[in-house]
Amino acid sequence: MANATKLLILHVPAGGGHKAAARAIAEAAASRGADVEVVDALELTPPWFARAYVDAHLRSTEHTPAFYGYGYEALNQRHALVDGVRGVFDRAVGARLTRFAVEQRADVIVSTHFFPLEVLGHARNTHALRTPLVGVVTDYAAHAFWAEPGVDRFCTPAGRAARDLVRHGVDPSTIVATGIPIRPAFGAAPTLQMPVGDAPLSVLVTSGGFGVGPMLQIVRSFAGVPGVRLTVICGDNPARVEQTRRAAEEAGVDAEVLGFERDMPRRMAEAHVLVGKPGGLTTSESLAAGRPMVIVGACPGQEMMNQIWMIDQGVAVAADPTQAGAAVAELRRSGKIPELAAAARSLAAPNAAMRVADVALRLAGRTPMSTRLREAA
């Protein structure tokens, strides 16, 4: 592929969604004939920083969510002093990332996390980096950290995220409402059909790629709820798998408990309801599959913003983890599951990854003639 457009796609493993979005974009760009490389940006920083960055995110969101939420709100504005100090530090630990980006001579760089945008956006502004830079917002609200100068295009879900970027100083002409990139297989799920006769209601319980969230409380909440079959995905966390299996057995809950699941589109297609935390990718996948969510354990910050958006759009309900089973039972009793499912699919963007790839190809001068992108208002 000597003449193929070269895309460098960066992600950060602070939660599994950023990597999943990067891979979805990579598959879409490759289908357009591009030469694609997906890289964990933290592998190009000092090992101590990479460990601390991921550990701080995972530990704070699971064990001290109130503290995480306070930090999210306190820093959710552009401030010259704070941005200056953060920029100097991030560029210092990201010096190797900048050198790598320059040496790759890609036609375009795409990042599904804001850390590379801060480092490489500065390089763009100082002309140290000539390669166009695309930022892909992976939640339904955009924190101020996303609004980095030097980014050529921002890809967002429609609505609040785009408005947030503008509020934080981003030129509206650089924002494209693509949706959050997911694998298109989620959109291939059949229209939801409620169980007939004695068939159980299928409930998919998810925890994200790292097995975080109140899984034990959720499973125990289904004790005594009749006509329900759980499929519980615990992620890459063997200890959590065993704990959850024991909890299901002790509570007498009919549950299949699994670790990391590679075929999530199939699992979601088989479900009637999804129970889990409202990460940006999980919520987007549920919309594409046309499956309503019972949202539990939302961490203050971007997850809470996603929850508010989902409820406002009429595609989800929220419940305490100890009441998840009761919430599912009430949705079934009230007959609202098909209604929520239809609303979810009406908001879906199953082709978002292809739209993001087309934004990148446009910047590289290789846009397919059929591409149609809606600029965010």
| Half-sphere exposure of residue 117: CA atoms within 13 angstroms, side-chain side | 23
Task: Return the beta strands (E) in 207-334 as ranges.
Answer: 228-233, 255-258, 273-276, 293-295, 316-318
- Quickly count: other Cβ atoms within 10 Å of residue 59's Cβ: 12
Region 180-187: what's the mean pLDDT? 96
User: In which band, very low, low, confident or very high, does the pLDDT at 2 lie, cut at 50, 70 and 90?
Assistant: low
Any residues with CB less than 8 A from the CB of 227 and at least 6 apart, and which? 195, 198, 200, 201, 332
Question: Distance between CA atoms of 148 and 295, rounded to whole angstroms?
Answer: 31
**Per CATH, the architecture of 6-182+350-363 is what?**
3-Layer(aba) Sandwich (3.40)
211 compared with 286, residue with greater pLDDT = 286
CATH of domain 185-346: 3.40.50.2000
Q: Which residues, including other chains, have CB under 8 Å from residue 115's CB and lie 6 or more apart? A: 12, 41, 42, 53, 90, 94
**Looking at residue 159, what is its pLDDT?**
85
Q: How many CA atoms lie within 13 A of 52 on its CB side?
A: 6
Q: pLDDT exceeding 90 applies to what percent of the chain?
A: 79
Q: Residue 365 pLDDT > 90, yes or no? A: no
CA dihedral 291, 297, 298, 299 (to 10 degrees): -150
pLDDT one-digit tens code per residue, 161-179: 999 999 999 999 999 999 9
CA dist 330 and 147 (Å) reads 41
Parts of the chain belonging to CATH 3.40.50.2000: 6-182+350-363, 185-346
Give pLDDT, residue 211.
Answer: 57
pLDDT at residue 366 in the model: 58
pLDDT at 260 over 90: no
What are the residue ranges of helices labelled H in 194-301?
A: 215-220, 238-251, 264-270, 280-289
pLDDT digits (tens, 9 = 90+) for 261-291: 889 999 999 999 999 999 999 999 999 999 9
Q: Does the structure show a pLDDT above 70 at 352?
A: yes
Segment 334-360 shows an average pLDDT of 96
> What confidence score (pLDDT) does residue 137 get?
98
Cα(315)–Cα(294) distance, rounded to whole angstroms? 9
pLDDT number for residue 120 = 97
Q: Given pLDDT bands bounded at 50, 70 and 90, which one contains residue 212?
A: low
Q: Mean pLDDT, the chain, as a whole number? A: 91
Lowest mean pLDDT among 76-80, 117-121, 264-268, 365-369: 365-369
DSSP state of 135: E
Q: What is the pLDDT of residue 15?
A: 77
Residue 376: per-residue pLDDT: 32
Model pLDDT, residue 148: 94
Rounded to 5 degrees, φ, ψ at 2 are -60, -35
- Average of pLDDT values for 11-37? 93
